Amino acid sequence: MTQNLTLQIGGMTCVRCSGAVEHALRSLDGVEKAEVSYAVGRAEITYDDAKVDRKRLEKAVKSAGYKVVEDKNAARRRELRELRILFIVSAIFSAPFLVLMVLMFAAPDAAVTHWMHNAGWVQLALATPVQFVVGWRFYKGAVLSMLNRSPSMDVLVALGTSAAYGYSLYNVIVGSGHYYFESAAIIITLVLLGKMLETGARGKTSAAIEMLMNLQPKTATVLREGTEMVIPAAEIVQGDTILVHPGESLSVDGEVVAGRSAVDESMLTGESMPVDKQLGDKVFGGTVNGTGSLTVRADGIGKDTVLSGIIRLVEEAQSSKAPIQKLADKVSAIFVPAVIGAALLTFVLTLVFMQGAEAMTGAISRAVAVLVIACPCSLGLATPTALMVGTGRAATMGVLIKSADALETACRIDRVLLDKTGTVTMGRPAVTDFLPMGMQREEALRLAAAVEQLSEHPVARAVTESYDQPLPSAENFVSLTGRGVSAEVEGKTVLLGSRRLMEEQQIPFADDRQSWEDEGKTVLYMAVAGQPAAVLAVADPVRDTSAKALRELHELGIRTVMVTGDNRRTAEAVGRAVGIDEVVAEVLPDGKVELVEKYKQDGKIVAMAGDGINDAPALAAADVGFAMGTGTDIAMESGDVVLVGGGLTALVTAVKISRATMRKIRQNLFWAFFYNCIGIPVAAFGLLSPVIAGAAMAFSSVSVVTNSILLKRTKL
């Protein structure tokens, strides 16, 4: 029988590792499908249990050099903790080498410089723990990648540092020659720093899912055989009658069978305005009930709820979004064998053509010079230095970039999908229009704010906040669910609500303000002592910076699409106001994911910008997810980049910084490989001693670092 199995994989350090695990699993007879995600450390396996069992699957993972873990979060936290400890140890032992490098440039003739430079046994003592304790993971990774016939950056690191360390050790023993311990130690420390940062970024992917799970209520009040009882939410069965009190979260998807209330569905639609619910209306688990009480028949429970669907979408998106392979890793597949071949060829040819007793010494010297000049010091510096400068500059400008992959991808974005509420707009309703009738504007606004001060409805808060003076008290307050409110203010009966409420009270309003409704605004009518007093409109105002940011995105060649759960009329009004290229309205979270996938299938590099729970799956599915810093924690954990200020100008900044940083990385890699390509043949012909090779390598590193630092001054 065909079975599906999910295994949590530990020990993967790059995307090539996931390929190795996939190969090991697929090689088993009975495995029909195996997909391994490096991003979330998970293997999805479809297999025939008559031919293979779980034990053999786990054994295949172990034979590839990796392990199956029960708790991936605990395993990742443990891995990150180990990396941090190793980095601290490596940094402590490498620090004197950094001091030496500084002294060689700043004070080459100083006594302390000469002592440190020639203190071979001291350098050996400092470099050995870094090389063999801290660097053990690179040797292991190198062996595994070679066994899997996919040489990675680990091979370059192990090869280059071993050559530098080994030749330096030889010179210490014989008491002559130059030392390259500093190159070996510093390379390992820097590469380890990159591994640590990458692991930390990957560890954040599960946080969004955990937060979504916490939205699900742990208990619910059910009515069984006429008795109310509180039970764990997991024990609810289909058909149960659920009592939902004011302020409670719904535990199931279902249908209202009694009661009336306004429900906050922002987790689904992103809209801050509650939705009125009455007999026969659908409600969804995870949404929050307002001031009324509801009786709900449970139709969707457990994994069948919309909230569970959102969690599943986020998981699938994170599993399928493989990180972009670094250019250095791609090149290493060719560069590593070439360097090894060049060194061996140099060694052999030197022995053949060089005569005398010095032939062996010359062969070793030339071969080591080839390996030293090929040592990936500048290659290892090329990307992390530019990334550190780029992300640092971004942070000072209100853009927090979580990973190198996000920074790399952002430069190639050609489609940006934008949520409406809280992204293009402020995400907070406000009074946009006010038309008094028969009284002064100030007095009418004062009465409107006074009657709404006892309501928790977002519209009520908008009205109350529109008046910044002390308010009179309101008595005999009544909330008329779905229609409005009523109260006594200074002896006058004040009604504020929908046109329907006014019609019920037979209060005539000649002006229906259709133009306001056409703009997607909520229109409220106020009557005082039975007479029309004012008409006002409440809407979510557009951010001041949105229109300018969208113009700049267009100038960068990026097409914009607004995708929202709000009604089409409101969405199109906002789209026209800010210059959106395309508007897609009345879309639920799965619809946003489908739109992201559609554009990706068309070959587009897709970004998603949003702030709500409903945006989390699309943020995770997009090539780059931009989370508004003013939004939910779930959105910020699902996104790859956090826009601290919440405005879209920060998104423009992120794209510009990404493009500038990637230009620097390409320049750095060019210089790194330029030195290698020129230096290797020169070293092979014996025209470049290991000492000069080391100096050339140091100069290459300095040029790369300097070029990266210049990113701070790059005009965006």
Take residue 697 and report the two structure tokens written for it: 């390598």
The whole-angstrom separation of Cα 97 and Cα 181 is 8
The whole-angstrom separation of Cα 24 and Cα 140 is 18
Computed on alpha carbons and rounded to an integer, the radius of gyration of the chain in Å comes to 33
CB atoms within 10 A of CB 395: 14
Catalytically annotated residue among 419, 566, 623, 640: 419
Tokens 């509650």 belong to 274
Contact indicator for 297, 239 with CB cutoff of 8 Å? yes
Q: Which SS3 state, helix, strand or coil, does residue 288 take? A: strand
Paired with 495 in beta bridges are: 486, 527
The whole-angstrom separation of Cα 194 and Cα 258 is 58
Contact indicator for 102, 156 with CB cutoff of 8 Å? no
Residue 322 DSSP code: P
Please provide the DSSP assignment of 502-513 as one string: HHHTT---S---
Contact indicator for 451, 497 with CB cutoff of 8 Å? no
Take residue 1 and report the two structure tokens written for it: 């029988």
Torsional class of 435: left (φ above 0), alpha (ψ -120 to 50), beta (otherwise): beta
What is each CA distance from 122 to 128, 169, 251, in whole angstroms? 10, 11, 66
Structural element, H or E, at residue 477:
strand 474-480
Q: What are phi and psi of 6, to 5 degrees?
A: -115, 125
Q: What are phi and psi of 281, to 5 degrees?
A: -80, 150
Tokens 């779980």 belong to 54
Residue 421 DSSP code: I
> What amino acid is encoded at 691 in this protein?
V
Handedness of CA 267, 273, 278, 280 (dihedral sign): negative
48 is catalytic: no
Instruction: For residue 233, give the nearest of 219, 223, 212 by alpha carbon.
Output: 219
Q: At what angle do helices 181-203 and 205-214 cross, to 10 degrees?
A: 20
Structural element, H or E, at residue 114:
helix 111-118
Take residue 72 and report the two structure tokens written for it: 């991936």
CB atoms within 10 A of CB 375: 28
Long-range pairs of 111-118 with CB within 8 A, sequence gap ≥ 24: 117/179
Torsional class of 142: left (φ above 0), alpha (ψ -120 to 50), beta (otherwise): alpha
**Catalytic residue annotation:** 419
